Amino acid sequence: MIKLRTLLRNRLTVIGLSIVSVWILLALLAPLLAPYHPNELNPEDKLLPPNSEHWFGTDNFGRDIFSRVLYGARVTVWTGMVSVGIACVIGIPLGAVAGYFGGKTGNLIMRAMDSLLAFPSLILAMALAASIGPGLLGALLAVGIVAIPEFARLMYGQTVVIKEHEYIEASRALGVRHHWILLHHVLPNAFGPLLVQITLGLGSAVLTTSSLNFIGLGVRPPTAEWGAMISYGRDYILSGEWWMTVFPGLAIATTIFGFFLLGDGLRDELDPHSRSTK
């Protein structure tokens, strides 16, 4: 298994982990840290630039953008975890079964995954989000479903290699059941690459979800969500009210940056071949 100390040797991993941890902490502590309620309307304070009372300024309804960015982190962390969770729960078993048993079933599963991969992911996510219906649930299900083939493909590749190892053959010879082998031998040995994919997948999930929310295929008003906040700010950026757009955008970019740095750092440490090219 992977040792934490080994992972923390890599600077990228440490920086990525720090950024991600800060956002997770901010999300958890949002009710304590936010100076205002995210949906509190103050028409007399509308469109105020950043100042000592409203650090990130206020929006067109007078809502405090700093508080909304903090609460937006909760939505983002939740969406990322749930959608990647869906992709893992469905994609990993599908890939493992296809790789381990092979044959017609395996072929059918992987061809279905290839068909899904042939779609531009954002278009597929948009169609799914629209079909599931308005709301955050639709967006996170859509993002999760779109990510399933990536996990299935990775797990398939890992399983095909791992199942040829001698200890698997030995387990089979001892009469160990297939599901036990998959759960106790194949899965733990594929953990490293899966962890990298989960981390990178979280970054992609944040990006796709915020894109869906920006288009209007996600959270309903007045929920504070970064992509939706940028969408509200869209009409005001030309008249100079940049803070409505800039701060939620920075929040999205730094979160994705953190996940990608962490994922890359993990890959560096877990894959010696990749490390040699860094």
Partner 1 sequence: MLAYAIRRIAMMVPSLAGIIVITFILTRVLPGDPALMITGEQALPEFVDKVRAQYGFDQPLLVQLWEYLKQLARGDLGYAWHTGHPVASDFITRFPATLELTLASMIIALIVALPLGILGAAKQNSVFDHIARFLSFVGSSVPIFWLGLLLIALFYSKLGWLPAPVGRISDGIYPPTHVTGLYVVDSLLSWDMVALKDSLLHLLMPAFCLSMGTIAIVTKMIRASMLEVIKQDFMRTAKAKGLSETAVICKHGLMNSLIPALTVIGLQFGYLLGGAVITETIFAWPGVGNYVTESILSADYAPIQAMTLISAVLYGAVNLLVELLYGVLDPRVRYD
Q: Which residues are near partner 1 by CB under 8 A?
A: 111-112, 114-116, 118-124, 126-128, 130-131, 133-134, 203, 207, 210-211, 214-217, 227, 230, 233-234, 237-238, 240, 242, 245-246, 249, 252-254, 256-257, 260-261, 264, 276-277
Indicate the residue among 39 and 121 with the shorter CB distance to partner 1. 121
Residue 277 has a CB neighbour count (10 Å cut-off) of 7
CB-count burial class (<10 Å; 0-12, 13-18, 19+) for 66: buried
Indicate the residue among 160 and 253 with the shorter CB distance to partner 1. 253
Structure tokens at 230: 């940028």
For the CB of residue 136, give the shortest distance to partner 1 in the complex, in Å: 16
Closest residue by Cα to residue 128 from 110, 141, 109: 141
Q: Quick check: bond before 134 cis, omega within 30? A: no
With b for 16 or more beta-carbon neighbours within 10 A and e for fewer, the 233-266 pattern comes to beebeeeebbbbbbbbbebbeebbbbbbbbbbbb
Indicate the residue among 127 and 176 with the shorter CB distance to partner 1. 127
CB under 8 Å to 60, separation ≥6 — which residues? 46, 47, 232, 236, 241, 244
For the CB of residue 23, give the shortest distance to partner 1 in the complex, in Å: 13
For the CB of residue 220, give the shortest distance to partner 1 in the complex, in Å: 14
Indicate the residue among 122 and 270 with the shorter CB distance to partner 1. 122
Rg of the chain over all Cα atoms, to the nearest angstrom: 22
Indicate the residue among 31 and 133 with the shorter CB distance to partner 1. 133
3-state secondary structure of 64: strand
Q: How many CA atoms lie within 13 A of 147 on its CB side?
A: 31
Residue 39 has a CB neighbour count (10 Å cut-off) of 15
Indicate the residue among 84 and 186 with the shorter CB distance to partner 1. 84
For the CB of residue 68, give the shortest distance to partner 1 in the complex, in Å: 16
For the CB of residue 241, give the shortest distance to partner 1 in the complex, in Å: 10
For the CB of residue 134, give the shortest distance to partner 1 in the complex, in Å: 8
Indicate the residue among 81 and 130 with the shorter CB distance to partner 1. 130
For the CB of residue 115, give the shortest distance to partner 1 in the complex, in Å: 3
